[in-house]
Structure 1
Amino acid sequence: MGMGVTIMSSFSMFSNPLMVCAVAAAAFYFCPENGFEIRVPRYVLQCIMGSGFLYGGYKIFFSKPASAVKSKFIYFSSKETMTAQTAREYKTDKMEMTTEHPCPKVVHPNDVLVRVCAASVNPIDHRIIAGHARPVFDQMRLQKGLPCGGAELPLVVGRDCSGVIEDVGSKVDKFKIGDEVFVAIGAEDTPGTFAEKVLVKDFMVAKKPSTVDHTKAACIPYVCTTTWGALVGRCGLGPKSTAGKRVLILAGTGGIGTFAIQLVKAWGGHVTTTCRTDGIDLVHKLGADDVIDYAKGTIEAALAERPKFDVILVTIDPRAIAPCQSALKKGGKLVTIVVPFIDNFRKHGMLLGRMVNALLKLRWKIEDFLYDRTTMISFNRPNGGALEAARKLIDDGKIRPVIQKTFPFEAANEALEYVKQGHARGKTVIVMPNAEKRHEGAKSEELISE
């Protein structure tokens, strides 16, 4: 009976008609002639499948796709211009620096205008301008009233920054002009932070840590909100619930990994992480209790030798999800920030891609039920509260920014290419001309900012 209940309850997960089609098709395909143990007749599942496909087909062929939609609230009669790094088209790996980009202006009551001092480079930056999952981003922007369908071009790149507030909306009471802040925006939000100024909402913002400069502060926001959504939002970890728990964090030397290790250790958890041989010293300095050198064998073999984990954070190749699932304790939770969804959209198109993704989620649901575990997906969401918590931990010396290399604003394309190559040791930061003077390129022994 449990299997049937699990499959039937999965329908509530997929409000999208395409998800309904996929789930119904899977149920029909795997159902024995006499139905499941809850004795759902096969003809009932056939009816569900047929109805799902009819409804899904109607929505696919008769609903209108996101067309070019402009937003009057982004630049709103601004006559000023600014320097920005923009992508004029998708399917590119280069940005173009312009001095004539419209300068944003406060319009809404909760708007905050920030003069950018430094911004970090994240892997999602090159994926966005490469056009990965563009239809998905179009739908997300349409729902938020942002420019989409091509109206967002030229697109300012960048997901986070540290800077100084230049103006605020009428209902912003937590911040004032002149405050030093750091901020992370969503993957779909436009415009981005590789510019002299960026317009954001007050809930995305927090005061900058007082113990670090803008360059160091800029490497924190996006990895913080991503990690927070996964470990806190999805797995329930926190200052009072982490002590004594075994947590596995994949890719410990990357931007997410370096922050996540320190966050879990600050809350009293036991951290195991993975990295190459040359990164072992770094992750130990960050507080990792146990390190798996993936250059010396398979992750499956290494995990089989260790006690099971309460929580696992997957930050790399989605193919790592399956072996990590087997390393969970009973009742354990695996959360991944990398899923094959975007690749499935690119390989199969939006229609078939959604069906393939729905089947993947259904498989996880069934296997989780059978093995008493939970597999979850986490997407980045702006979260000023998470940044405020990180600010306190940084000022208390419990989390230290980890920077691998810095680039001047004019060399933003070099920074983007550097991050694209992978095997990061912390974050890469772009420094604006108005920020503190720094030497370009931090050396490995200087990775951890004291």
Structure 2
Amino acid sequence: MKIQIKLPILHKQLLYFEHALRRNYSTEHGTIPHKILKRMDAWQIHEYCSEVQLTNTRTPIINSPNDVLIKVEAASVNPLDVAMSNGYGSEMIGFLRKIRTGSELPLTLGRDFSGKVISKGFSPCKSKELQVGQQVWGVVPVHLQGSHAETVLVPNAVVAPQPSNLNPVEATSLMYAGVTAWSALYIFGGLLFRSIQGRRALVLGASGGVGSIAVQLLKAENAVVFASCSTDAIPFVQTLGADVVYNYNDPDYVEIVKSNGPYDIILDAAGLGPEDYLKNNWNCNAYVTLTIPLLKNGDQYGIFGGLLSSATQFVLPNLKAVSQGSTIRWALFQPLPQAIEHIGKLVSNGKLIPTVSEVYGFNDLQKAYERVGSGHLRGKVVIDMLKQSDGLTPVKGEREENTKEEGQ
């Protein structure tokens, strides 16, 4: 029997294998990148101060042995996403993005995700931990294209196996806010290398995304946690385990907080700011704030002018704080594997519980941005890639049924 080989087809196959070897892919079909030419839908901004738009764009291609390509099943919408769509951080973060990709826009937002591994590079690091088809969660560094898309490409250091006791919606609701809270407390708050047990910590804005997770992180280490929130949020914050909850609507709020001091650490997740903290004369060893002017100053004065202005705004309040026996520290989101690992252990042990406020479908992402921009949330706003209906959180069992229908 004579076997005929069509040369054009053979040539195409050889190019396919060559590309696979050159890109160092690993997929569920071996080393062949079976979806490298596939296009995907992504919500992007093409200019700042404009609405996100649904765009059909090219699926990211793995270029590094450390890259992991994830099929996104859920992603949260954070206040940072809304701020970045309006140009926040465009000078400094945009500069980093230009260095990496050569272009600043269009930009896909989204700083966290839950999903499945589609393909990965051949890095020996995490080669056994992350497998194609595995359910994972993670965060996206701010200078990379985000997760409000069908797929996202991230370094393997910011990806980890997802705890089995969470579904994708619950998992992604914890990631960005959790890593931010962990960074603020453990890195900038200095709790990484010291015992937290028995320490007195005050969390301002305890009902928000970062604040609610910070309360749980501290209680998991047996800290004595004080928390502040609005009147209607007090029952919610109490369920998180806070020992004392302050009502910031109380006319005597400032004096009550002061009278219960001193505190080992105050985490400002409410946007109070160093000036108000110093004016209130609250006694603590370390005041850690997420309200920092670095990116805002960069947008206003340029990179170098913004750095100089920020340095001044950091040093002068600290001179006054030091005279009062305190330090003021700026906290930034740090996408570290230690943070993801710590959060994962607490979730698996039932010590960290997700709080989801509202769930939107992928096609309703604009509405999700509007909801986050309006504020006053109790928990996270999440995008469920499998959700079809508009406006309501899926009932229990809906996701499992949809998953079976789509064969995932």
Question: Given the superposition, is the C-alpha separation of residues 84 and 416 from structure 1 closer, same or farther in structure 2, using an over 3 Å criterion?
Answer: same
1:251 is aligned to 205
CA distance in 2, matches of 1:388, 1:123: 24
Question: Given the superposition, is the C-alpha separation of residues 208 and 439 from structure 1 closer, same or farther in structure 2, using an over 3 Å criterion?
Answer: farther
1:156 is aligned to 108
Question: Which of these residues, 135, 155, 169, is aligned with residue 180 of structure 1?
Answer: 135
TM-score (norm 1): 0.74
CA distance in 2, matches of 1:298, 1:270: 22
Asked if structure 2 preserves the Cα contact closer than 8 Å seen for 1:404 and 1:425, the reply is yes
Cα RMSD of the aligned pairs, angstroms, is 2.6
Question: Which of these residues, 55, 80, 86, is aligned with residue 38 of structure 2?
Answer: 80
Question: Which of these residues, 427, 430, 444, is aligned with residue 380 of structure 2?
Answer: 427
> What letter matches 1:295 in structure 2?
N
Shifted more, 261-270 versus 416-425: the winner is: 416-425
Query: Are positions 1:391 and 2:344 aligned together?
Result: yes
Shifted more, 203-212 versus 165-174: the winner is: 165-174
TM-score (norm 2): 0.82
Alignment of 1:12-161 (within 5 A): 78-92=36-50, 94-98=51-55, 100-142=56-98, 145-147=99-101, 151-161=103-113
Q: CA deviation at 1:372?
A: 2.1
Query: Are positions 1:196 and 2:150 aligned together?
Result: yes
Question: Given the superposition, is the C-alpha separation of residues 342 and 299 from structure 1 closer, same or farther in structure 2, using an over 3 Å criterion?
Answer: farther
Q: CA deviation at 1:375?
A: 1.1
- Number of aligned pairs? 359
2:311 is aligned to 358
CA distance in 2, matches of 1:352, 1:108: 34
Question: Given the superposition, is the C-alpha separation of residues 278 and 140 from structure 1 closer, same or farther in structure 2, using an over 3 Å criterion?
Answer: same
1:296 is aligned to 250
Q: CA deviation at 1:81?
A: 0.4
CA distance in 2, matches of 1:347, 1:439: 37
> What letter matches 1:158 in structure 2?
G
Q: Matched residues, percent identical?
A: 30
Asked if structure 2 preserves the Cα contact closer than 8 Å seen for 1:78 and 1:103, the reply is yes
> What letter matches 2:49 in structure 1?
K
Q: CA deviation at 1:152?
A: 3.2
Query: Are positions 1:170 and 2:132 aligned together?
Result: no
Asked if structure 2 preserves the Cα contact closer than 8 Å seen for 1:91 and 1:130, the reply is yes
Query: Are positions 1:262 and 2:220 aligned together?
Result: no
Superposed CA deviations along residues 68-110 of structure 1, whole A, max 9, x for unmatched, are xxxxx9xx99522001111111122x11112x21101222111
* Structure 2 gap segments, 5+ residues each: 1-22, 24-32, 396-408
Asked if structure 2 preserves the Cα contact closer than 8 Å seen for 1:312 and 1:328, the reply is no
> What letter matches 1:334 in structure 2?
Y
CA distance in 1, matches of 2:192, 2:304: 38
Asked if structure 2 preserves the Cα contact closer than 8 Å seen for 1:405 and 1:442, the reply is no
> What letter matches 1:417 in structure 2?
E
CA distance in 1, matches of 2:350, 2:379: 17
> What letter matches 1:103 in structure 2?
T
Shifted more, 342-351 versus 281-290: the winner is: 342-351
Superposed CA deviations along residues 205-255 of structure 1, whole A, max 9, x for unmatched, are 111111010110010111121111110112232596111111111111111
Asked if structure 1 preserves the Cα contact closer than 8 Å seen for 2:110 and 2:148, the reply is yes
Asked if structure 2 preserves the Cα contact closer than 8 Å seen for 1:337 and 1:379, the reply is yes
> What letter matches 1:196 in structure 2?
E
Q: CA deviation at 1:147?
A: 2.4
> What letter matches 2:134 in structure 1?
D
1:404 is aligned to 357
